[in-house]
Amino acid sequence: MTTTRYSITREDLTALLPDQPRYRIDQVWKGLFDELSSPSEMTNLPKDLRTRLDAELPLALEPVTETVSDRGDTIKFLWSLDGGSRIETVLMLYRDRATVCVSTQAGCAMACDFCATGQAGFTRHLTDGEIVEQVVLASRRARIKGRRVSNVVYMGMGEPLANEEPVWRSLVRLHDDCGLSARHLTVSTVGIVPGIRKLAERPMPVNLAVSLHAANDALRDALVPINKRYPIGDLMSACSDYLDAKGRRLSFEWAMIDQVNDRPSDAVELATLCRSLRLPAHVNLIPLNPTPGYPVRGSSRLKVEAFRDQLESLGVNATIRQNRGTEISAACGQLVAGQPVRITPSRERDS
């Protein structure tokens, strides 16, 4: 694969422009990652250099469609990659923050039944440049709306810790060059124990979210197949070591499935796991979003709230994840990047 615009390292850039003084390299670097400019917009550079950069540093993501919901506050991007596979990225604008949800793989090999990405299978890993580019392009979109991206969550298509090295390089790039703080970077994993251990050895204290969904092995084996390889005991010990290494509270994601994992006994088991950590884990409850291949329903709002209240009464902090983008299939577990089935009720008018 050729070097793309956001996979380039500073050394590559210097090698690409051997005739340029150092301050020019600095200008290009700052233009790309800090100012989010495309080369043609870098008016502080001579025109021939802009043209050269445009040609030599192509983008890796080709836009296919952009769909908007929540009155313009959720935007889903569908991209086509080198080789033809497709991925999605979601930009969510909240009152107090703007979050980009990035994909780390085209498809996913983890095969969780309730997740549309898992239902579709695995195609390929993304490169660090492809991950960073999702953030840059979504940030440029946010800027049109007068907003600045503050948070990045690795919760799109794919399993980040099955692609740890490029994911790590992208985190470093976002932190060092795009100016995002580690506190605002969150990696979500299905529970790949060696990946959690690897990430724990890395220097930056990024947030770790673990998609738990069940707090006993029998149920988790059924919902999250990788649990057979990395059962809850091993997972919790890796979580505890992550906490020791970083000193940051973990969060557990829990997709609430009607009569499967929303019973009072599930809350008790979950609270026990959360509290087994030195800093009890925070729980993110996600009302199950519909996907084509999973007939089970999500828990009712009332049950989700009762579950949250029960966790709170057991001394565990829990929040109900705001449901964003369900009507454009941009919500948790709905990213599949299939043929662009357009179910957009309203195109945004302000752009």
Rounded to whole angstroms, how far apart are CA atoms 174 and 139? 12
Which of 189/207 has CB closer to ligand SAH? 189
| Helix-strand-coil split of the chain, %, nearest 5 | 40, 20, 40
The sign of the dihedral angle between the CA atoms of 102, 82, 76, 211 is negative
Rounded to whole angstroms, how far apart are CA atoms 290 and 270? 23
CB of 260 to ligand SAH, least distance (A): 12
Give the binding-site size for ligand SAH (rule: CB under 6 A): 17
> Counting contacts by CB under 6 A, is residue 103 touching ligand SAH?
no
CB of 323 to ligand SAH, least distance (A): 9
> Counting contacts by CB under 6 A, is residue 119 touching ligand SAH?
no
> Counting contacts by CB under 6 A, is residue 186 touching ligand SAH?
no
DSSP tag of 329:
T
Catalytic positions, please? 88, 332
Task: Tell me which residues in 270-289 interact with ligand SAH (CB under 6 A).
Answer: 286, 288-289
**DSSP bridge pairs for 117:** none
Edge to edge, the sheet with strand 98-101 lists 62-69, 74-80, 86-93, 98-101, 151-154, 185-189, 207-211, 251-256, 282-287, 318-320
> Counting contacts by CB under 6 A, is residue 159 touching ligand SAH?
yes
Which of 6/252 has CB closer to ligand SAH? 252
From 89-97, 107-115, 130-138, 178-186, give the range in contact with ligand SAH by CB under 6 A: 107-115
The identity of residue 189, as a single letter, is: T
**Of 69, 291, 299, 329, which one interacts with ligand SAH (CB under 6 A)?**
291
Task: Tell me which residues in 329-348 interact with ligand SAH (CB under 6 A).
Answer: 332-333
Angle at 78 between CA 76 and CA 84, to 5 degrees: 165
**DSSP bridge pairs for 93:** 98
> Counting contacts by CB under 6 A, is residue 114 touching ligand SAH?
yes
CB of 127 to ligand SAH, least distance (A): 18
What is the contact surface with ligand SAH in residues (CB under 6 A)?
Answer: 110, 114-115, 155, 159, 188-190, 211, 253, 255, 286, 288-289, 291, 332-333
